Amino acid sequence: MSEEDLKAELERLRRENASLKKGAARGVSMKVSEKGGISVYGMGRFPVTLYKEQWLKLLDLAEEIRAFIVAHDSELKTKE
């Protein structure tokens, strides 16, 4: 590869990297998985995927989960 080709490739990779970073910063998103579950993206490296009944059960426990977090705050870590 010539120096000109390398510079062009480097610039292309920089644009691609900036585009990927921009997409990662957009927050949480959802989609229906291949198997019919709900996948939530943007909370970590991998999506959180549960079936409808599991999400509804988890949502019903929202207040209990919040209370548990408050009760165990000193034991829990925060992702920075």
List, in order, residues 6 or more apart from 37 with CB less than 8 Å away: 49, 50, 51, 52
pLDDT digits (tens, 9 = 90+) for 25-76: 568 889 999 999 999 998 888 999 999 999 999 999 999 999 999 999 999 9
In this prediction, residue 80 has a pLDDT band, given cuts at 50, 70 and 90, of low
Q: Report the predicted TM-score, pTM, of the whole model to 2 decimal places.
A: 0.63
CB-based contact 29:43 (threshold 8 Å)? no
Instruction: Delimit the domains of the chain by residue range.
Output: 3-75
pLDDT band at 18 (very low <50, low <70, confident <90, very high): confident
- Residue 21, pLDDT > 90, answer no
pLDDT given at position 44: 86
Note the helical H segments in the chain.
3-24, 52-60, 62-71
